[in-house]
Structure 1
């Protein structure tokens, strides 16, 4: 059985299809993380400055993406809103939109907490030196806040990457979808699901391990440069 399962894996373009699905997963994940990081930094900084009503809006936005599971959000943006608004987006774009908004909501709360953890004396010293509010955030608060936020950033990023496994529900041809297609095409072989999902699990581990290594490297460079 195992021998025939490996023959199936190596036959045709199955390996190429799996790697292509992995590429789709990586593109969606990294694009969502980059966009979510940029939006999250801006929202997190504004959250520490804004008045009561603006903070309430941020809080509602955060709670929507924190409480509602990702699957209903995907269905809402892919099936319901396009039908009601007459706007049709490709599944990959919808995936990036949902994951970026989710990442931004979670990361903005992390940034808010990180900025507020910077000692008050540093903000007061920056004001005394004549720096504007923008300059204080640009050169003092956000750099130190980002350093504090690196570990939560890794955890949130790995959550995004792992959660992309549900994208087969909206017909995104990611690595999970490709693996399922190969399994269904060879359903007579009872070992092929173990082999395919084992390879997919290894690929997810490799992607997350590389992300963790790169983030730790950047964190180390920042600490050594302080």
Structure 2
């Protein structure tokens, strides 16, 4: 049973984990920047900007991630002539999804700031940009951080969908190892158990830290 956990298996799982982390981290960076920007824009309550952001949010929520992956990976090269790898397509999809989800969290966080804080900033002679930079955003970040961490763990776990468009990430590598050892009845239990443990190690500390911040700042 333990013959599966040899150097070659662990090395291949590490390679798959590297691809999973690559997709996750790049998507998270884009999500953090893009979501914050869109959330601030949405809070200005411009009719056209709000309509665009709301429409984008509904699109990413209504359409399953798997459909988005297929549309981008198979559709974009055909429609726009883009030569996308499976990893690039996954990053695009998770970044778009993450940006709009983060945007909504930013919007909620900004709207939770009491109105008198905006009035206080105005009474101090601060313009709109200065009010957001020095007063509103620092307070909103305390509300946003725990919620955004939950989103980030969802993004890490959702990268498992990428194998369906050919990305050789952790789950795909696990499947290949199981197929290679198809005569070993314990192979699925051991390999998927190990993959579960890896994702647990990646996500659980973030969840714990999120809970700690939520209790500290509540």
Interval containing the TM-score (normalised by the shorter chain):
over 0.9
Q: TM-score, normalised by structure 1?
A: 0.90
Q: Which runs of 5+ in 1 are unaligned?
A: none
Q: Matches of 2:188 and 2:16 in 1, distance apart?
A: 17
Deviation of 1:216 after TM superposition, in Å, equals 5.9
Give the corresponding residue for 2:167.
172
- Equivalent residue in structure 2 for 1:100, among 95, 107, 115: 95
Q: Secondary structure at the match of 1:87?
A: coil
Is 1:44 the equivalent of 2:39? Answer: yes
Once the two structures are TM-superposed, the CA of residue 58 in structure 1 deviates from its matched residue by: 0.8
Out of 71, 93, 107, the residue aligned to residue 76 of structure 1 is 71
Q: What is the CA distance between 1:213 and its match in structure 2?
A: 4.6
Over the aligned positions, Cα root-mean-square deviation in angstroms equals 1.6
Aligned to 1:110: 105
From 131, 144, 153, give the equivalent of 1:149: 144
Equivalent-residue separation in structure 2 for 1:141 and 1:38 (angstroms): 17
Aligned residues: 216
Structure 2's unaligned 5+ residue stretches are none
For the residues of structure 2 that align with 1:186 and 1:42, how far apart are their CA atoms?
A: 48
Q: Distance in 2 between matches of 1:53 and 1:91?
A: 33
Shift of 1:119: 0.8
Question: Which whole-Å CA distance do the structure 1 matches of 2:15 and 2:32 have between them?
Answer: 26
Pair 1:139–1:216, CA change in 2 (3 A): farther
Q: Which of 207, 211, 214 pairs up with 2:206?
A: 211
* 1:141 partner SS: helix
Structure 1 counterpart of 2:4? 8
- Post-superposition shift, 1:150? 2.0
Per the alignment, in what secondary structure is the counterpart of residue 103 of structure 2?
helix
The residue that corresponds to 1:196 in the other structure is: 191
